[in-house]
Amino acid sequence: MAKIAFHPKLLDTLPGYDGAQFSRDASAGLTVGVLALPLAMAFAIASGMSPTAGIWTAIVAGFLISALGGSRVQVGGPTGAFIPIIYAIVADYGVQNLLVATMLAGAILVAMGVFRLGNLIRFIPKTVVIGFTNGIAVVIFLAQIKDFLGLRIEHMPGEFFGKVEALAANLHTIDIPTVALSIASLVVLLSWNRLARRFTLLARMPGPLGVLVVATVANALLQLPVETIGSRFNGIPQDLPAFALPELSLPTLGKLISPALTIALLGAIESLLSARVADSAIDDRHDPNQELIAQGIANIAAPLFGGFAATGAIARTATNVRTGGRSPVAGMVHSLVLLAVVLVLAPFAKHIPLATLSAIVVVVSINMGEWHEFRGLGRFSLNYRAILLSTFFVTVVFDLTLAVELGMVLASLAFIYRMSDLTRVERMPLGELAMLPQFLYPDKTPRVVAYSLYGSLFFGAIHKLETLLAPAERHPEIVILEMQHLVSLDTTGLEGLESLCKNLHKRGCALILCNLNVQPGSLIERSGFADEVGPNNICGDLYGALARAKELLPRFMDEDNI
């Protein structure tokens, strides 16, 4: 059994770590912590959780992901991609069962890392990733309409059609002050970069925090008639959360396996994509298996403090890199900054308008979608378009797990079709040898034919061998398969060769193989098929195969004369 490797990236950065690097990491951690505060609260509320849960998820999970992870600069916490998943679990099973599902997901992630499955995530095609990313962005946007417009909806359904029906039925309850604040917050957020270029004071402040501070101060001074964290959640507690195990209901445990798998799958994909993006920015290479173990431990620990699902966050990781973070210390500082904010500034949180937090999430949903991919769909094949749009549609209307499963099935079928299309069996000209008397029947029909195999002979291309058994008035007595261009052979392809050999023998024909590559040759030898063909009938090259055919032809000709 392979030795389990547990080697956080933090251990690689400590040798030679100095005060100058700590200063850069601390500065980056401070910036990312300030950015993470409004996002953590906004994502939590959008997920059907309290803002406190979002903050403690960012503190606990964020610290562990940085301290134990396989990336130098990964910053973790709650992310927008989890919003539709978490909301649906809370709506269907309740908060306590969400915490249990998160811990199960953490255990799955640890197991994935231990069994070194991190690289398998890279096998998910780009079309599937784009499809579910854009789908999640649409779902997040739909979920924010209620708070953005101030609609009076007691309970927002988790599934798509129920959500659309509830929004349509309550559209008449739109609240004008809420809409005004939402639009104002949205406009400022979308214009923040432009404003930062004109006013240097804003340049070092993240847009979400700037908008949140302005809206909170305005609401505290003017007492705007809008819903706030204080009116819905009674503010944010200023003390540390109690350490507690979530309540576990054994009859419900089996139902949580599917949600846990969804959380684990999305967490693995998003964290490893984020780490890969970070690698290109800092010229480093992350350890995907160590990253999965850290993500798993973080998701097991966060629910013990009232938190929920967390993963590597691309926006916060990119901000960390841009502001000078080059070691896991920056991500750890980001968590400590959030902890200090909670312990010092929590009383002011009751004035934060939910409309502004909703506008922040709307901007996140707009930015996370790769909408340009839709505009360029016409340039790609039908298979590409079908996979991307199917994954997108199923993500929006049904479920992320189902969408990824469907996308992978469609991508696999498209790959099989493409590989099958590349597999060819072509007749080879034998030149002057084809005119030799012993190579021909009296009616000039060839006794010896040669075919070249190209590509991969696997279960999706086995039908290509059928052309070699097509009925003919005078079948050849020797069939040569030249396999120099056959790069791979699976067990179904081997079975096809065995069937071809048996059918040729029934006709009184011999099969000769030549120019075998390493993998096909190894499988043919290990399976015992080499003995069935005959050791002398497996040759190093085409010339050897033709020489063997010359040896066999007199026997066949004598048999013809008996």
The answer to whether residues 153 and 413 touch, using CB atoms and an 8 Å cutoff, is: no
**pLDDT (tens digit, 9 = 90+) per residue, 274-284?**
898 889 888 88
Residue 221 to residue 218: CA distance in whole angstroms:
5
Q: Is residue 557 predicted with pLDDT exceeding 80?
A: no
Residue 45 to residue 358: CA distance in whole angstroms:
9
The answer to whether residues 64 and 110 touch, using CB atoms and an 8 Å cutoff, is: no
Strand 311-312, strand 76-77: pairing: antiparallel
Residue 45 to residue 212: CA distance in whole angstroms:
15
Strand 538-539, strand 510-514: pairing: parallel
Task: Give one DSSP letter per residue of 161-226, joined into a string.
Answer: HHHHHHHHHTGGG--HHHHHHHHHHHHHHHTHHHHHHH-GGGTTS-HHHHHHHHHHHHHHHH--SS
**What is the predicted pLDDT for the residue at 314?**
84
Structure tokens of 9? 């990236």
Strand 448-457, strand 424-428: pairing: antiparallel
Highest mean pLDDT among 64-73, 84-93, 395-404: 64-73
The answer to whether residues 118 and 396 touch, using CB atoms and an 8 Å cutoff, is: no
The average pLDDT across 45-60 equals 94
Q: Is residue 558 predicted with pLDDT exceeding 60?
A: no
Between 385 and 252, residue with greater pLDDT: 385
Characterise 75 by phi-psi region: left (phi > 0), alpha (psi -120 to 50), beta (else): beta
**What is the predicted pLDDT for the residue at 348?**
86
Structure tokens of 243? 């350490």
Strand 510-514, strand 478-489: pairing: parallel
**pLDDT (tens digit, 9 = 90+) per residue, 303-355?**
999 999 999 988 899 889 988 899 999 999 999 999 998 888 888 888 999 99
The per-type count for the chain, helices as H runs and strands as E runs, is 24, 7
- The tally of CA atoms less than 13 A away on the side-chain side of residue 522 is 6
Q: Is residue 59 predicted with pLDDT exceeding 90?
A: yes
**What is the predicted pLDDT for the residue at 370?**
86
The answer to whether residues 65 and 75 touch, using CB atoms and an 8 Å cutoff, is: yes
The answer to whether residues 508 and 477 touch, using CB atoms and an 8 Å cutoff, is: yes
Between 313 and 438, residue with greater pLDDT: 313
| Amino acid type, 346 | A
Query: What's the pLDDT band for 560 if we cut at 50, 70, 90?
Result: very low
77 DSSP β-pair partners: 311
Task: Give one DSSP letter per residue of 246-267, joined into a string.
Answer: PP--HHHHGGGHHHHHHHHHHH
**pLDDT (tens digit, 9 = 90+) per residue, 173-230?**
999 999 999 999 999 999 988 887 787 777 777 888 889 889 999 999 989 999 999 9
**What is the predicted pLDDT for the residue at 435?**
61
**pLDDT (tens digit, 9 = 90+) per residue, 110-161?**
999 999 998 887 788 889 888 988 998 898 899 899 999 999 988 888 788 8
Helices (H), 346-479: 354-368, 372-375, 382-397, 400-422
**Percent of the chain surpassing pLDDT 90:** 51
Structure tokens of 272? 């490893």
Residue 453: its H or E element: strand 448-457
Query: What's the pLDDT band for 562 if we cut at 50, 70, 90?
Result: very low
**pLDDT (tens digit, 9 = 90+) per residue, 13-30?**
999 899 989 999 998 998
Torsion angle (degrees, nearest 10) of CA 134, 135, 137, 143 = 170
235 vs 96, 151, 211, 345, CA distance in Å? 21, 21, 19, 11
**pLDDT (tens digit, 9 = 90+) per residue, 466-518?**
877 665 555 788 899 999 999 999 999 999 999 999 998 888 889 999 999 99
548 vs 116, 386, 448, 457, 541, CA distance in Å? 48, 50, 11, 25, 11
pTM greater than the 0.85 cutoff = no
Strand 478-489, strand 448-457: pairing: parallel
Domains of the chain, earliest start first: 21-369 (no CATH), 423-561 (3.30.750.24)
Give Dmax (Cα) for the chain: 112
Residue 460 to residue 454: CA distance in whole angstroms:
14
233 vs 230, 432, 531, CA distance in Å? 5, 90, 76
Structure tokens of 214? 């302005």
